[in-house]
Amino acid sequence: MVAGNWKMNTTIPDGVALARAVLERCGAEGTVDVAVLPPFVHLWPVREVLAASSILLGAQDVFWEEGGAYTGEISPPMLAGWCDLVLVGHSERRHLFGETDAQTAHKFAAARRHGLMVILAVGETETERDEGRTVPVVDRQLEAVLAEIDAPPPADEWVIAYEPVWAIGTGRTASPAQAEEVCAHIRAAVSARAGESPRVLYGGSVTADNAAELFSRAGIDGGLIGGASLKPELFADIVAAAALAALAR
Ligand code: 13P
């Protein structure tokens, strides 16, 4: 899977144009699941652009309540049935907006109650890595979610994205070996707990230049792409790299 997290970028007309460009370049992709995650207000118009394609539509966040007095929030029932997936636990939610492991777990569980596919993002800060705490931090983030739900979703209905915080938007990509090591740990930890691991993506300064090497690693099933997802030609090159890696497996 290659998923483009547009974050808080593009106006609606620019987002619709970007979706058209992604459709043009990636619409015929048959090997890799391609997803775009535009801002909330773009979801409906982007859905209209992508309607006849297999490109998945995702939201960047979701709230855990069904409805009520929660100014500014978007609930799972508002998205269910027409939006394919939601991202929860992105490091920008955790670190810029103070979202806790427990809140991320509530969001995950609420999205699943409404049948939404979920991408769960996990990852350590630079300090946590320097202190040798990468594995315990990622384990804690995963466990918070697994403890909240009765049973893990079927492996094809969720995805884990390993995004080291220090690699996001910094141009400092994790080395393929660093990324593979943590992705392999995640896969083993979730398999031990849930039976079968979902796909594990890497995110953090993925570009058209480093994608092929990252995706060639056995434990990395694709990427969650920020900056490069705003440039359709770069995003399409990353999708092509994932398709080649998938064929080589
Ligand atoms: P960049 O690709 O811009 O580093 O962002 C990664 C990310 O946060 C995707 O969710």
Where do the domains of the chain lie?
2-248
Return the active site residues. Answer: 90, 163
239: its two tokens: 């999708």
Distance CA 227, CA 225 (A): 7
- What integer pLDDT is reported at residue 2 of this predicted model? 98
Contacts of residue 105, Cβ cutoff 8 Å, sequence gap at least 6: 144, 145, 147, 148, 149
Q: Tell me if the domain spanning 2-248 has CATH number 3.60.15.10.
A: no
pLDDT at 193 over 90: no
What is the atom index within ligand 1 of the atom nearest the CA of 92? 8
pLDDT above 90 for 226: yes
Asked if 141 contacts 190 with a C-beta cutoff of 8 angstroms, the reply is no
pLDDT of residue 196: 92
Ligand 1 centroid, distance to 205 Cα (angstroms): 6
On whether the pTM is more than 0.85, the answer is yes
The C-alpha atoms of residue 141 and residue 121 are separated, in whole angstroms, by 9
Q: pLDDT tens digits for 31-56?
A: 999 999 999 999 999 999 999 999 99
Calculate the alpha carbon distances from 41 to 16, 44, 60, 124 in Å: 11, 7, 11, 30
pLDDT band with cut points at 50, 70 and 90 for residue 26 = very high
Q: What is the mean pLDDT of the chain?
A: 97
Ligand 1 atom showing the smallest separation from residue 206 Cα: 2
pLDDT band at 78 (very low <50, low <70, confident <90, very high): very high
**Which value, to the nearest 10 degrees, does the dihedral of the CA atoms of residues 102, 108, 112, 117 take?**
-170
* Polymer length in residues for the chain: 249
CB atoms within 10 A of CB 11: 11
Closest C-alpha among 1, 82, 6, 83 to residue 34:
1
Query: Is 6 marked as binding a ligand?
Result: yes
Nearest protein CA to atom 5 of ligand 1, as residue: 226
pLDDT of 134: 98
Ligand 1, atom 2: nearest CA belongs to which residue? 226
Check residue 242 and give left, alpha or beta (phi > 0: left; psi -120 to 50: alpha).
alpha
Is 64 annotated as contributing to ligand binding? no
Q: How confident is the model at residue 194 (pLDDT cuts 50, 70, 90)?
A: confident
In this prediction, residues 80-98 reach a mean pLDDT of 98
Q: In whole angstroms, what separates CA 206 from the centre of its chain? A: 13
Q: At what angle do helices 232-248 and 12-26 cross, to 10 degrees?
A: 30
Q: Which residues form ligand 1's pocket by a CB distance below 6 Å?
A: 5, 90, 163, 168-169, 203-206, 224-228
Q: Does 231 show up as a binding residue in the annotation?
A: no
pLDDT, tens only, 234-243: 999 999 999 9
